[in-house]
Structure 1
Amino acid sequence: MEIYQTEEQQVEAIKGYWAKNGMTISAGIFLGFAGFIGFNFYQDNQLEQELAVSDSYQTLMEQSATDAKAFTENGEKFISENGNNSYVSLTALALAKESATHKDWTQVEKQLTTAIESAPTDGIKAIASLRLARVQVQLEQYSQAFATLNNNLPEAFTAAIEEIKGDAYLQQGKKDLARNAYQTAIAADGIATSPSLQIKLDDLAQVITLPTTKKVVAEPVVTESEDK
């Protein structure tokens, strides 16, 4: 490193450095400043968009309680226009619930599938998956239901998963598998959220059949007097 002995030498050195590198430094400062402004603008724009989507979602939820038809139409539109937004999954769950009241199971499956695919968290994905599996069991789509339940759901949902599996096995007449599934659900503290689990298991209690005893008929005793 060079050592400058006088202020004049320092000033001349600064002038020379600025003459060689001033344009690059200025450009860097300008780009940095522009980037800062652009980033803040981007953040503000994103925030405005999020608030607008949030307001639209809130309006939809209010509409769902007063005008089911308009809610369904606007809900579908909301999903198509906000495919990557976290509110899409919640809207799809609400639409599925509305379709279920009309027993429109095709729409229920469609909306729950959308909720799963767009879920922003594993928890919402699991809730949508459990609801879809229950519908599939009700429609006797057992293989699809098991595939839905085996889709890497969080361990916290083990009890609910096993209970639905038990229901599917029971409807198929597979009582041993149903019993095992219900026992696994109870072991995972499932009774805390589904008290009927114990009733389901009790209904499957094995009936112990005692072996049938063969009736023994005593042979008549023949005495000497009778023999004669």
Structure 2
Amino acid sequence: MEIYSTEEQQVEAIKSFWKEYGNSIIGGAAIGLAGLFGWNTYQDYQREQAEAASAAFESAMNQVGATDQMTKAVEELKLAHGSSAYADLATLTLAKAAADAGNLSQAETYLTEVLATIDADFKGLVQLRLAKVQGAQSKMDEALATLAGIDNEALSAQTNELKGDLLRQKGDLAGAREAYLAAQAAGGSQELQMKIDDLAN
């Protein structure tokens, strides 16, 4: 490290250093501050959007039981916050309400819509619900195709049990038995043994 013997030499060295690197230091500091400000602004915006989506979701859920009002509230939520998880949850609620009201076609539409946007971790559950709705409409082949698309080991028992139910309705008793046994091996419900035994009668 260079040693400066006099105060004048130290001052000259500082001036020289500042002349050579001053603009870079100021520019770097400005960029850093701008980045920090931008990040904080973005974080604030994200928080505000999440809070607004949460409030819109709560408003929509307060309309449960009043189908038209709930549908309108959910559509407004999807327009304003379509990319949020709240939009998917609200649409799933609409699907359940439609299914409970016997409007299976509408429930299928909502579930299909959610499949395009929902987080991968929850996709299998939506596919399972969709397959049930399709099966209830006697769309057996579509329901089986939906089940075939489920790639979630945790849902193996439920998936295979529903597959067995659908194949049984189609008259494929051997296929139904195979699916029930797979569901049983995956730790399915106690009712599975009754279903398996019933196929032998």
TM-score over 0.5 (shorter chain): yes
**Match for residue 187 of structure 1?**
185
**Match for residue 217 of structure 1?**
none
**Match for residue 117 of structure 2?**
118
Q: What is the TM-score when the length of structure 1 is the normalising length?
A: 0.81
The SS at the match of 2:181 is helix
Q: Distance in 1 between matches of 2:38 and 2:115?
A: 34
Structure showing greater radius of gyration is: 1
Q: Distance in 1 between matches of 2:8 and 2:51?
A: 58
**Match for residue 63 of structure 1?**
63
8 A contact 1:83–1:118 mirrored in 2: no
Q: Distance in 2 between matches of 1:121 and 1:47?
A: 23
Q: Which runs of 5 or more structure 1 residues have no equivalent in the other structure?
A: 208-228
The SS at the match of 1:103 is coil
Q: Distance in 2 between matches of 1:25 and 1:148?
A: 59
Aligned residues: 200
Q: What is the TM-score when the length of structure 2 is the normalising length?
A: 0.92
8 A contact 1:89–1:120 mirrored in 2: no
| Alignment counterpart, residue 198 of structure 1, candidates 185, 193, 201 | 193
Deviations 1:75-128 (A, max 9, x none): 123223322111121111100011112222221111111222221241x21211
Give me the identity figure in percent. Answer: 39
Q: Distance in 2 between matches of 1:143 and 1:8?
A: 90
**Match for residue 32 of structure 1?**
32
**Match for residue 152 of structure 2?**
154
Say if 1:107 and 1:80 are closer, same or farther in 2 by CA, change over 3 A: farther
Question: Could you say which structure has the higher helix fraction?
Answer: 2
Q: Distance in 2 between matches of 1:64 and 1:166?
A: 33
Q: Distance in 1 between matches of 2:26 and 2:160?
A: 65
8 A contact 1:126–1:153 mirrored in 2: yes
Displacement after TM superposition at 1:199 (Å):
2.1
Deviations 1:159-186 (A, max 9, x none): 0100111011101100010011011111
Q: Distance in 2 between matches of 1:148 and 1:74?
A: 29
Letter in 2 for 1:103: G
Letter in 2 for 1:96: A
**Match for residue 96 of structure 1?**
95
The SS at the match of 1:140 is coil
Q: Distance in 2 between matches of 1:51 and 1:77?
A: 15
Q: Distance in 2 between matches of 1:48 and 1:73?
A: 22
Displacement after TM superposition at 1:146 (Å):
2.1
Could you say which structure has the greater relative contact order, defined with CA pairs below 8 angstroms and 6 or more residues apart? 2
Q: Distance in 2 between matches of 1:106 and 1:134?
A: 12
